[in-house]
Amino acid sequence: MKLLAISSIAWTLFWCGCQTMPADYLRDPRPDGATGIWAGQWLIYGDELETGGGLLLFPSDENQTIDLVFRHPNDPERGNVIHYSWNGEEVAGQYTFSGVSFTVASNWRAYDITPPKDLSAGGYTKISFDVWGDLSEGTKVEFWGGRRSATTGRLKLDNDDGWVHLDIPLRENDLKKVREFFVIVFQFAEPSGHSEPGQGGTVYVDNIRYEK
């Protein structure tokens, strides 16, 4: 319930256009995708974003950064990975969450007019990906897939753990009207009786795939 409330706030801010969105991103555009023709899997991100869409930082781009061609200093041989970071300070007037969505739209201005994609023809049952993170005390990270209501992976990472492989289970209904291919959300649990920001966190994500 807490996650749904947070996501509702985030998307309300987004729809209202209360904040300026970041520069548009578009990598390797494709007219469609995820129709089952890639041997049972669809690559969302390898060394670059493969969706044909773009990404949005929400509820604004304040105090958070993303790099799609980052080389992890402890694993440079892996190649490019996603580097997403939040410093814990205010994002659109609050510091309890921040997020990035890999969306069907090529940029934020096109979000309203870009129709969702039906990915059900691919028969995908999960989204698999690798993650490495370093989170401050009280900060957790969530990953969503398919529709925003799809199953969420939640964990607290330790930088000493190295790469962790995760799967997000998907149902066919999660794939019929997809606007968000993949979403990363930082959440900060404000200490009781205090109103000070946390210190945020950093995650590195790689090999994001829809799989059967």
Domain edges within the chain: 2-211
User: Given this model, what pLDDT does residue 188 score?
Assistant: 92
**Residue-level pLDDT, tens digit, the chain, 212 residues:** 344 444 443 443 343 333 333 333 333 334 444 444 445 778 889 888 888 888 999 999 999 999 999 999 889 899 999 999 999 999 999 989 999 999 988 878 888 888 888 888 778 899 999 999 999 988 999 999 876 545 566 677 766 778 999 999 988 888 888 889 999 999 998 765 566 888 999 999 999 999 88
What does the CA dihedral 53, 155, 22, 51 come to, rounded to 10 degrees? -10
Alpha helices in 138-186 (DSSP H): none
Alpha carbon distance 190, 179 (integer Å)? 30
Q: Nearest Cα to 68, choosing from 87, 44, 91, 89?
A: 44
Model pLDDT, residue 19:
37
Give me the residue label for tokens 């939040």: 86
Q: Which fold has domain 2-211?
A: Jelly Rolls (2.60.120)
pLDDT at residue 34, as a whole number: 44
Residue 178, token pair as written in the block: 């997809």
Full-model pTM: 0.81
